[in-house]
Chains A and B, each alone.
Chain A
Amino acid sequence: MADLDGEFEPVLVGFFCNWCTATAADLAGTTRLQYPPNIRPIRTMCSSSVDPVYILKALLRGADGVFIGGCVPGDCHYVSGNFKERRRIAAFKTILDTLGLEHERIWLRWISAAEGQKFAATMREFTAKMKELGPSPFKKGWSI
């Protein structure tokens, strides 16, 4: 994606847990906190329902970064889903490394429903970082 000035604008896909990060995003909106519009939100019931395959699919389809937002450890709406996702993402990242792909494009963060500020700040940070990384090589080499 390129904006009007031709500057690189990353395509970002976010998987937001319904009980925390999606609600934090609601709060960020309600309090009119501003963050870059690059992130495309997908609500999930739990971070643990985000299959690494969805992430891979997004990257292969052209996303420059994928964000997964879950509940703060110890506060998972489904008891321990966030821990399950943490393990999966850790394992997934090592696989990406092995394939020579950039695991830095995948962010897993804990943002509670009360943390609108943190959500907006994290989105700013995520977008800036992905801009810095530049266009994802996935889409050049692997575009399907």
Chain B
Amino acid sequence: MSSGNGTKRIGIFVCHCGLNIAGVVDMEKVVTEIRKYPGVVYAADYQYMCSDPGQNLMREAISEHRLDAIVNANCSPSLHEKTFRNVAASEGLNPYNLEIANIREHCSWPHANDPEMATRKAIAIIKATIDRLKLNAALEPAVIPLKKRALVIGGGIAGMQSALTIANTGYEVVLVESSPWLGGHVSQLSSTFPTLDHPACLIEPMMAEVASHPRITLYAYAEIEEVSGYVGNFVVRIRKKASFVDTAKCDNCGLCFDPCPVSVPSEFERGLATRKAIHIPFAQAVPQRPVIDNESCIHLIRVKSQGKGDSRLQTPDSRLLDGSECRACKEACPAGAIDYSQQDRLVEEEVGAVIVATGHDLISRDVLGEYLSDPDIIDGLQFERLLCPTGPTRGAVKRPSDGKIAKEVVWISCAGSRDTERGVPYCSRVCCLYVAKQTLLYKRAVPDGQAYVFYMDIRSDVMGTEEFVQGMVEKSRTMYLRGQASKIFRDGEKIKVWATDTLTGKDIEIAADMVVLALAMVPSTTARVLARKLNIICDQHGFMTEAHLKLRPVDTLTSGIYLAGTAQWPKDIPDTLASASGAASRILSLFSRAVLLHEPAIAFVNERVCVGCEQCVSVCAYKATTLDPDKKVARVNEAVCEGCGACVVACPSKAMKHKNWTPRQFFDMVDVFAQEYVGEG
């Protein structure tokens, strides 16, 4: 970096912008004044400097007067800084030797009624800009190598869509899924609104393609341990959890399941069925391989507790199971694939960009006080499992408590959503629609059954869904009652629901066989921890936050990291896939470049002055500053620094500087502005 030396040959180009500037500011006076200013070798004004003749005027003046620095006095830099810097570059100038003096938006327009003062102000603004320009250094963008390989975190429908889009374009993808199998929540659904097609048709081809894709490395049953590096150059440590099944040997014959003596609630069936300690969640699960859950396998618990016993080993009659002797699955396995000694393994992958697609969970029912933990009060996902032909009841809508067909079912919408007191303030967006779908499928399964829906408002804003909801109401003869349930309680065989219909003002009591809660969508429990590792931001609910709601909806503020699906906010499947495709295309556009170029007006350290106090390290929101362990001085990672300047102010020894935004430059501008007083005594 060459430092400014105050001997630049400076040219000034003042734009009239028709009458927008010239109608208020006295152009002649400005040019006359500025011509006299130290350092200025040329000054001109023109009607429209951004026009072709205006740009040519600049080009000619640059070569004729051998200008090496330029101030353009015109509109906001957000409009034409780039235009004029390109003009300067075309004449061989470094673009950072051109600065804009904004005398339109900041001067002629807001002071149109005071031409005298506006002219004075315009002159001051141009002079201050000249003085800052004198100390500008010629900068070149930093060149950053780019690893064209992507990491996708989350193997639900969003993560799979992103991974496949990137992999099918020709780049390698590392896909990390925390559960042992792909598919996420979509694999639990019975059908999807508004088309009522089976989710398996959506995701099973995706799962198969992901698992067999030559450019996708799949780590299922794995977690992100640590992320370091920056855009183009991330290093990710991944913890591959022990599955205690040697995947190379296992041929998924299924002989190990029956002998296992352990029976625990199945997560996939949301507690409506049980599973063994060694299990796969459903027949089409991908990858096709069972996993031994070390939280329930009595052999593994026994080994872990070193024979001391554990409450999980206690039988109802207080005997302690001697798990270490249980080798039921191992004995049953003809392939010899069971390996109780397997350990977690750490692997390291290098990637250039990351997509976070960690999805959502449902809000804990505990926050909703009145909804008892009764087996016949279930959530929306549990009802999906009941409706599913491959679910625990083979599609029959049976009550979990006694297995009787539920003849009267009450749905509670907004259970936790739009509830600032106990739940979350936002709308979960999909509940109104899936409740309508569930009532229809319920009527198909139980033709003589009656469905009731308590709702606050029906929100069906996605294309085709308003017609869908209206159609469902008519077809299923569901009773839609506007109001929230005030009390839900067990009364013998039935569950009583008390509520007020707010449209008629009447109190209602329904004796239901089953209650379905449309629970609010909340971020997955690990979202915050992961966000910290990635240095990205979560909102107050734990949803990951985009860089700009409208302009950069799938980017995060950390460059190279993007968001897909419901990790960001509640979305339906089409919106999830749109954001997943969007995030993938952001990465593809990143990968279309040979190298990355980064804005050079960033922080730098004067190593001879730095005392290594690390103030700059703690103040940096991007972790761009670090302490060099050998030299004990601060280092700025030029690929990560966003050029905010916070560290410059924090630095007590003033070793930290911001290129082209140095204290000297600020002082000089301040001097010009305050001098107006001094000048007048």
Contacts and interface: CB of A to CB of B under 8 A. Distances in A.
Interface stretch (B56-64, B118-126, B185-193, B201-209): B118-126
Contacts of A25: 105-106, 110
Given A46-B644, A48-B645, A53-B663, A62 B117 contact: no
Nearest to B120: A37
B667 A41 contact: no
Interface string A1-40: 1111000000101000000000101111110111111001
Interface string B99-120: 0001011111111111011101
Interface in B76-111: 76-78, 102, 104-111
17 contacts: A1-B677, A1-B680, A3-B117, A11-B674, A13-B674, A29-B109, A34-B111, A36-B111, A46-B646, A48-B644, A49-B644, A49-B661, A53-B663, A58-B670, A79-B537, A79-B622, A81-B621
A140 to B, nearest CB: 11
B611 interface: no
B661 A42 contact: no
A103 interface: no
Given A28-B110, A63-B670, A78-B644, 16 more contacts: A13-B674, A25-B110, A26-B106, A34-B111, A37-B121, A45-B643, A45-B644, A48-B646, A57-B666, A58-B670, A61-B678, A63-B677, A78-B646, A79-B537, A84-B650, A88-B649
B649 to A, nearest CB: 4
Majority secondary structure, A binding face: mixed
A54 B661 contact: no
A43 B129 CA distance: 10
A80 interface: yes
A44 interface: yes
Contacts of B116: 4
Contact of A26 (B78, B557, B673, B678): B78
A109 interface: no
A25 to B, nearest CB: 6
A46 B642 CA distance: 11
B314 interface: no
A127 B601 CA distance: 33
A98 interface: no
Nearest to B547: A77
Interface in B544-593: 557
A41 B106 contact: yes
B675 interface: yes
A17 to B, nearest CB: 10
A84 B557 CA distance: 18
Given A11-B677, A81-B644, A88-B649, A49 B658 contact: yes
Interface residues of B, number: 52
A25 B110 CA distance: 9
A54 B670 contact: yes
A42 B82 CA distance: 19
The 5 A-B pairs at the shortest CB distance, nearest first, are namely A49-B645, A29-B105, A62-B677, A61-B674, A79-B621
A79 B121 contact: no
A88 B649 CA distance: 9
Nearest to B536: A79
B649 A48 contact: yes
A48 to B, nearest CB: 4
Nearest to B118: A37
B42 to A, nearest CB: 24
Nearest to A56: B670
A130 interface: no
A44 B102 contact: no
A53 to B, nearest CB: 7
Interface residues of A, number: 49
A125 interface: no
Contacts of B120: 37
B656 to A, nearest CB: 11
A23 B676 contact: no
A50 interface: yes
A62 B678 contact: yes
Contacts of A57: 666-667, 670-671
B414 to A, nearest CB: 26
A86 interface: no
B676 to A, nearest CB: 6
A13 to B, nearest CB: 5
B134 to A, nearest CB: 15
A27 B104 CA distance: 11
Contacts of A43: 77, 102
B273 interface: no
Nearest to B603: A49
Contacts of A30: 105, 109
Contacts of A46: 644-646
Contacts of B670: 13, 42, 54, 57-58, 61, 63
A114 B19 CA distance: 26
Nearest to B116: A4
B441 interface: no
Contacts of B76: 26, 29
A30 B79 CA distance: 12
A30 to B, nearest CB: 6
